[in-house]
Amino acid sequence: MTSVLRLERISKSFGPYRVLKSVDLVVDAGEIHGLVGENGSGKTTLLNIIMGHPAIQESGGYSGDILLDGRRVEMKSPQDAIQAGLGMVHQEFALLPGLTAAQNIKLGRENLHPFARRLLGESLAYVDRARDRAEAGAILRRLGIELDTSIKCGNLAVNLKQYVELAREIGRSGLRVLILDEPTAALDREDAHRLMPLIQKLACQGIGIIFVSHRLEEVLEICHRITVLRDGEVVADLDQGDGDLNLDAVARAMIGRSVVEMKRKGNSPVGTVFMKFQDFAVDMPGEMIRNFSLEISQGEILGVAGLSGHGKLALGYGLMGAYPTRGRVLVDDRELDNTCSSKVLAKDICFLPDERRCSGLLLDRSLVENIVFTAAQHKHKFLRLHLGPLSMINWKSSREYARRSVEWFGIRCRDVYQQVGQLSGGNQQKVCLARAVALEPRVLVVAEPTRGVDIGAREAIFEALLRINQERGTTIICVSSDLADLKQICDRIVVMYEGEVFAELSSHSQDVEFSLALGGKRLADNAAS
Amino acid sequence: MPLLKRNAPQFFVFFFLVAMAVATLFVGDMPLAGLVGDALVRLFMNGVMVLSLVPMLSAGVGVNYGLPIGLLAGLLGMCVAVNYRLGGIAGFAGAILVAVLIGLIFGYAYARVSRRVKGHEEITGLFVGCSAVFIMCFFWNVAPFTNPEMLWIIGGGGLRPTIGLESTFGKVLNDLGTFNVGGIQIPLAGLSFFGALCLLLSLYLHTRSGRAMAAVGESETFAFFSGINVGKYKTIAVVQSTVIAAVGICVYAQSYGFIELYNAPLMMAFPAASAILLGGSTGKRASVIHVLVGTSLFQTAYVFSGPLANSLLVPELSEILRVIISSSIILYALIYAGEGKSA
């Protein structure tokens, strides 16, 4: 077979960060090539380079060569990529909801009335809508879908949108390579399964396909070859013919390192169950929790793992009432009222969101102001002249407290009046923790505490979390997409899959067990199959 | 960002001012002391209206282009005072009292509208302001006021477009306690009144409630996760802005000597907005310092440019220059705010 797309030594840096290090990738005509890797492994950046995403040019371009049918090409813009015969189906649909399915599919290459075209020129000519509809219908039929193409895309079900998106890409003449970025993320199992033969059919027509998915079993099912990316490098290039292509091999290649030693010094005395989630559901777009039922004991550190889109992030947001929720959360057998965030805080439950810079900190303000803010608003601490809402902040006691916090957490800063925005990511996270600790919470929910911080800061944040837990008996719920993090500090880890608690594992469980659970599979299932 | 680029409007107006001050020395018969006195009067006269923008800017609702709503409340307050022929300090105090009460109601209604258009508060404010001004045009025509000084001379019904305040509380703040230092008239009462309002607002911004409001302005999600009711604080900010604007027009009108009704409040938001932006507010954060710096620069430039332009160039040019300057400052601030976002 001949290669249609060949990437040679592709490297890319964003500022000082090298996100892709000399990546090679070859896609043959008619091949389905799997591309897998953890979050942040560089998959999206690689796809963006191939498709000429403007963000790549704006951040200084890339190095390395892209060869299409053996000729060196450079993608300066998405238009270049499309003209060269590349197509991409996006993870989040790139459809215009106000246009019909036919209009979406034929967008940019509409059929024109020949007379009007001669009279008014290419861009002003009247669109032959009947022909557009017929052609769009024909493309959809090629995909095995019978759909009224005059329905507006906004009104279509999610799975149908996926087909329309696919139809738009394959409807183009001269399509050479089709990139599918998480095409099944929005689909349920059955629909995802139905998509597989379609992709295979496309491959049979000689189109090279790059298939990106978190669902490893899908990748294994249809891909001829699989490239595994980790930290911007190709760590494995597995071939279906080799026979060593199985779930364990891929999962191991993805995660790479075996997880480091336990840092938790013995299990802290875990108390009685005091908090219960009962059929808790959160309607957060893209991170929906369908059913979360769990009991939480006083003083434990609970990890919540899961791939993006499977609902782990929604836990903290739902608890605070940022999105509509169903079901119940009981604290000391009394139902938690989360209609208003202050009522949740009054129950000594504190949440530090994953969007640290925009939701966890006031970046333009000083450390002092950040650290005492929530406690002053909520616990009426650090105030003088107690006049209710008109009380003034007591800067003296605030400053003292902030200085003690800086010491306790080991925050590196010029002084407590430095702007938080000037600190490094790790130190910012510690300021967040200091702000939470000032509230003396009983339950602390942290989301992605180590996202975007370097290795050293990561250890320091763990140390702080463990100290909060040990010295204050605070129950900690740590939500993270980094398994190594969770295994290092948590007593037990629940794995979320499709919005439900899929498995509860201990930090001693094997890596393979974790990566299977993340993909919605159990060790036994896999062995059986 | 380098200081010069970030503070370009301030530098520009400052140099403009220095150039004008130098020019006055060379142009004969320009009473410098008189001009400085006028500038001081214009500072407190307009300053309160500029100050009224601060709460909404702090709470992240943006520049209050709905300023006319507050002004209408103030105009109503003054009309009530004039109708009952309240004169002097009592008249001024009465006008402010009624203005504040009406301001609370108008402000709450405005807040309700503004809460529904999350993220588009500025443009909505502009249109709410416009429509309110014209709705009130009906009201001025049919309002049941009885003092003949306020009514059309012919027909005896409906309010006049301009109502003189000579017989009631015109210039009470301007004249009270004014003293002379080296030929410059210092309007003590007016400046003190403005200063007191500045101090009160600045104190409020340092309270627990004020801090919460500023946090809402900086990051709504941060405020939410800190247990702050975002909607409540935005409402408080809009009501505060409206009430201060109502007081502001009372101060303005007593100094001007007339109440101007009908279309007059329509364009008053722009000079106020450009003054605070000139003072260094970025459109997201504002402080009392921005008000003081901005209003001083803006109004002094206005006072100086008038007579200078009239004697050096074409008469009436000063008004044109002023509109150009104030509009371009708003434009600059909008462009600059956009840059900040994309960076």
Mean pLDDT to the nearest integer, A267-284: 82
- Chain B residues touching A383 at Cβ < 8 A: 208
* Interface ipTM above 0.90: no
Q: Which of B224, B232, B233, B235 to mutate to test the interface with A (most CBs of A within 10 A)?
A: B224
CA atoms of B193 and B175, how far apart (whole Å): 13
Mean pLDDT to the nearest integer, A176-180: 89
Mind listing the pLDDT tens digit for each residue in B234-289?
999 999 999 999 999 999 999 998 999 888 898 888 889 888 888 888 767 788 99
- Chain A residues touching B215 at Cβ < 8 A: 362, 373
Strand partners, A28: A3
CA atoms of A371 and B43, how far apart (whole Å): 38
B343 has pLDDT over 50:
no
The conformational region for residue A108 under phi > 0 = left, psi -120 to 50 = alpha, else beta, is left
* C-beta atoms of A360 and B206 within 8 A: no
Strand partners, A36: A228
- Using a CB–CB cut-off of 8 Å, the residues of A that contact B are 320, 322, 340-342, 344-346, 351-353, 355, 358-365, 369, 373-374, 376-378, 383, 387, 389-393
Q: Which of A323, A341, A432 to mutate to test the interface with B (most CBs of B within 10 A)?
A: A341
Enumerate the domain spans of chain A.
1-85+174-256, 99-173, 273-528
The confidence score (pLDDT) of residue A173 equals: 76
- Chain A residues touching B225 at Cβ < 8 A: 320, 322, 341, 351-353, 359-360
- CB–CB of A405/A437 below 8 Å? yes
- Chain A residues touching B341 at Cβ < 8 A: none
Mean pLDDT to the nearest integer, A420-445: 87
- CB–CB of B239/B111 below 8 Å? yes
Q: Which of A377, A383, A428 to mutate to test the interface with B (most CBs of B within 10 A)?
A: A377
A192 has pLDDT over 80:
no
Among candidates A168, A166, A214, A170, which has minimal Cα distance to A194? A166
Q: Which of B199, B200, B211, B342 to mutate to test the interface with A (most CBs of A within 10 A)?
A: B211
**How far apart are the CA of B236 and the nearest CA of chain A, in angstroms?**
12
- CB–CB of A10/A62 below 8 Å? yes
- Chain A residues touching B212 at Cβ < 8 A: 377, 389
The confidence score (pLDDT) of residue B337 equals: 55
Mind listing the pLDDT tens digit for each residue in A219-257?
888 888 889 888 788 888 888 777 667 777 777 777 665
Among candidates B324, B91, B44, which has minimal Cα distance to B186? B44
The conformational region for residue B88 under phi > 0 = left, psi -120 to 50 = alpha, else beta, is left
Q: Which of B202, B219, B225 to mutate to test the interface with A (most CBs of A within 10 A)?
A: B225
Give yes or no on whether A1-85+174-256 and A273-528 have one common fold: yes
Question: Mean pLDDT: which of A64-68, A113-117, A485-489, B308-312 is highest?
Answer: A64-68
The separation between CA A100 and the C-alpha centre of its own chain, rounded to angstroms, equals 30
Question: Which residue is it, tokens 């719920």?
Answer: A477
- Chain B residues touching A387 at Cβ < 8 A: 207
- CB–CB of A469/A502 below 8 Å? no
Question: Which residue is it, tokens 């911080």?
Answer: A453
Q: Does domain A273-528 have CATH number 1.10.530.10?
A: no
Residue B38 corresponds to which tokens in the numbers above? 């006028």
Please tell me the least confidently modeled range out of A443-447, B67-71, B72-76, B178-182. Answer: B178-182
The confidence score (pLDDT) of residue B99 equals: 95
Going by pLDDT thresholds of 50, 70 and 90, the confidence category of residue B110 is very high
* C-beta atoms of B229 and A392 within 8 A: no
- CB–CB of A91/A180 below 8 Å? no
Going by pLDDT thresholds of 50, 70 and 90, the confidence category of residue B71 is very high
Give B282's DSSP letter.
-
Distance separating the N- and C-terminal Cα atoms of chain A = 31
User: Residues near A63 by Cβ (< 8 Å), separated by ≥ 6?
Assistant: A9, A10, A11, A12
The confidence score (pLDDT) of residue B246 equals: 95
Q: Which residue has the higher pLDDT, B89 or A184?
A: B89
CA atoms of A73 and A70, how far apart (whole Å): 9
- Chain B residues touching A342 at Cβ < 8 A: 227-229
Enumerate the domain spans of chain B.
40-266
B318 has pLDDT over 90:
no
Residue B128, phi then psi, degrees to nearest 5: -60, -45
**How far apart are the CA of B313 and the nearest CA of chain A, in angstroms?**
46
Q: Which residue has the higher pLDDT, B203 or A171?
A: B203
Mind listing the pLDDT tens digit for each residue in A6-52?
988 888 887 767 788 888 989 988 899 999 877 667 888 888 888 88
Mind listing the pLDDT tens digit for each residue in A449-490?
887 666 567 778 888 888 888 888 899 999 987 777 788 888
Mind listing the pLDDT tens digit for each residue in A76-109?
888 888 888 888 887 666 788 888 888 888 887 7
The Cα-based distances of A322 to A275, A283, A349, B140, B227 in angstroms read 20, 10, 14, 46, 11
State the pTM of this model: 0.73
Among candidates A197, A148, A205, which has minimal Cα distance to A171? A205
CA atoms of A5 and A68, how far apart (whole Å): 5
Mind listing the pLDDT tens digit for each residue in B113-134?
998 888 888 889 999 999 999 9
**How far apart are the CA of A92 and the nearest CA of chain B, in angstroms?**
22
| Helix axes of B317-342 and B288-312: crossing angle, nearest 10 degrees | 140
Among candidates A2, A37, A1, which has minimal Cα distance to A21? A37
CA atoms of A145 and A143, how far apart (whole Å): 6
How many A/B residue pairs have CB atoms within 8 Å?
A: 79
CA atoms of A238 and A245, how far apart (whole Å): 6
- Say whether B177 sits in a helix, a strand or coil: coil
* C-beta atoms of A341 and B227 within 8 A: yes
The confidence score (pLDDT) of residue B4 equals: 58
* C-beta atoms of B226 and A322 within 8 A: no
CA atoms of B171 and B118, how far apart (whole Å): 41
Dihedral angle of Cα A143, A147, A152, A156, to the nearest 10 degrees: -80
* C-beta atoms of A373 and B215 within 8 A: yes
Q: Are strands A273-282 and A289-297 parallel, antiparallel or unpaired?
A: antiparallel
With CA atoms as reference, the chain B residue closest to A388 would be B208
Going by pLDDT thresholds of 50, 70 and 90, the confidence category of residue A259 is very low
Q: Which residue has the higher pLDDT, B190 or A44?
A: B190
**How far apart are the CA of A321 and the nearest CA of chain B, in angstroms?**
9
B146 has pLDDT over 60:
yes
Mention the CATH class of domain A1-85+174-256: alpha beta
The confidence score (pLDDT) of residue B339 equals: 46
Closest partner CB to A341 (pick from B209, B225, B285): B225
Going by pLDDT thresholds of 50, 70 and 90, the confidence category of residue A70 is confident
Q: Are strands A334-335 and A325-331 parallel, antiparallel or unpaired?
A: antiparallel
B47 has pLDDT over 90:
yes
User: Residues near B154 by Cβ (< 8 Å), separated by ≥ 6?
Assistant: none
Mean pLDDT to the nearest integer, A104-119: 81
Buried b (16+ CB within 10 A) or exposed e, B40-63: bbbbbbbbbbbbbbbbbbbbbbbb
- Chain A residues touching B227 at Cβ < 8 A: 340-342, 344-346, 374, 377-378
The confidence score (pLDDT) of residue B3 equals: 57
